[in-house]
Amino acid sequence: MNDSPGWAVPGPSPSDGDRPGAPDGRDGSEGAQPPAQQPPAGGPKWSAEQPPPGEWSSPGSPQAPTTPKTPQPPHRQPQPGAGWGSYAGPQGGQGPYGSAGGPGQWGKPPAAKPGVIPLRPLDLGEILDGAVATMRTHWRSVLPITLVVATVVQVITVLVQKYTLSDLPVSSDAEPSLRELVDTLGGSMLALVANGFIQLIGTIVATAMLTMIFSRAVLGQSSSIGTAWREARPQLLRLLGLTLLLGVGGALLVGVLIAPGIAMGNIAVGLLGGFAALPLLLWLGIKFSLASPALMLEKSSVPTALRRSSRLVQGSWWRIFGITALTGLITTFVSAIIVWPLTIAGLAIGLADAGPTALENGTAASGWAALILSAVGAVIAQTITMPIQSGVTVLLYVDQRIRREALDLELARAAGLENYGSDPAAPATGG
């Protein structure tokens, strides 16, 4: 987010060795001091020696020790560029807080929380809680966006289902002619494509605006609908291009893998190619899952956003997959609880009006009662679940940048916390 204070244009991750102050001297300096003596520029100013595990005290406490009682073991010394949430393991590996030397031996340090999340590496509960807290705290901005988008999409969907899909022959005494079938199917497909495009546009607009609202909520700042629209509007076309590129790319991947089976006329080969495409699509979906917030918050291009997402996800694929999958299960369960009772009630009303034969000819599902009640349930469900899904994606992006690029320092400065990360005795909470 280049135009917001403290959100500088992100460079390569520390693993690439391009961050300023890297100990290999790539910033042009010669004879750089060891990490424990010379902290990286812009990073947390670690002291030469760290207190041993179990002796971290609250910032600002009068009993806080100024010097460690015993030297910190070398393999736990924080490394430059690693940012919050990393440590150097015995073999030089990196891991989250609480992992060094075993569980519980090095807990999470106190962190500022100017907004909905603490400024340090996040766990699953903090990511979900941050998404829900934003929706609860900033509901005047979040809920109207998702409510309007969901309502417009569902109204169009109801009209398409009522006046287009209901024309498809379900059962008839007189078999329709080939021309009638082609005309009916052609009109239905055209309506479905138009309905899908409207849903795509609505989802993109809602996602873009919600991303801006969540980015401000991290800093403890509110954002009106107008402000979110003005910040998101310049990137909408790029976000549309990114979404279409990912969709078309996925379709091409499936087509390439099932093409041999189609060419050979072998169904088994085609099915094998389709099954092989599923794990590839899943892997690529998670690999590029952070491209949307990277594009919106960094004001970058589509290729740059894809590269940024790939770099941020690298080494954390399973963690991001698990959080994303769990969020999907939660939102699906919530949607089912809301939608299915209303859908069943609509079908019951249709059966009461048209009789048992309504199930055979399809009029029960295409009646106004069933369509309207199902749409009402979908509007309520999307209004609730869309902010949670968008919020989890944005907070995953922020969490990965905190872990890899020490973004928490930039966020603290943007939130008005002076000297955050440079003085162990500085207050850990914002004013």
* Mean pLDDT value of segment 407-413: 90
- CA–CA separation, 75 vs 94, rounded Å? 10
pLDDT digits (tens, 9 = 90+) for 275-332: 999 999 999 999 999 999 999 999 999 999 999 999 999 999 999 999 999 999 999 9
Radius of gyration over every alpha carbon of the chain, rounded to an integer in angstroms: 27
Using CA atoms, how far apart are residues 244 and 37, in angstroms rounded to an integer? 49
| CA distances for 318 relative to 41, 97, 102, 325, angstroms | 31, 18, 21, 10
**Helix or strand holding residue 386 (H, E):** helix 368-405
Q: Which two tokens stand for residue 419?
A: 């000297």
Position 413: which residue type?
Answer: R
Task: Report domain extents, the chain.
Answer: 135-170+177-399
Residue 412, judged by CB atoms within 10 A of its CB (0-12, 13-18, 19+), counts as: buried
**What's the gap between Cα 125 and its chain centre?**
15
Average pLDDT over residues 151-158: 91
The model's confidence at residue 46, banded by pLDDT at 50, 70 and 90, is: very low
How crowded is residue 67: how many other Cβ atoms within 10 Å of its Cβ?
Answer: 7
Q: What is the DSSP letter of 10?
A: P
Q: Which of 78-87, 198-207, 248-257, 325-334 has the lowest mean pLDDT?
A: 78-87
Q: What angle do CA 364, 369, 372 make, to 5 degrees?
A: 120
Residues ≥6 apart with Cβ < 8 Å to 70: 52
Which string of DSSP letters, residue by residue, matches 282-340? HHHHHHTTTHHHHHHHTT--HHHHHHHHHHHHTT-HHHHHHHHHHHHHHHHHHHHHHHH
Residues 189-204 have a mean pLDDT of 83
Give exposure, 202-222, as e/b (b: 16+ Cβ within 10 Å). Answer: bbbbbbbbbbbbbbbbbbbbe
Residue 204 backbone zone (phi > 0: left; psi -120 to 50: alpha; other: beta): alpha
Q: What percent of the chain has pLDDT over 90?
A: 47
**Token pair for 384:** 């609730």
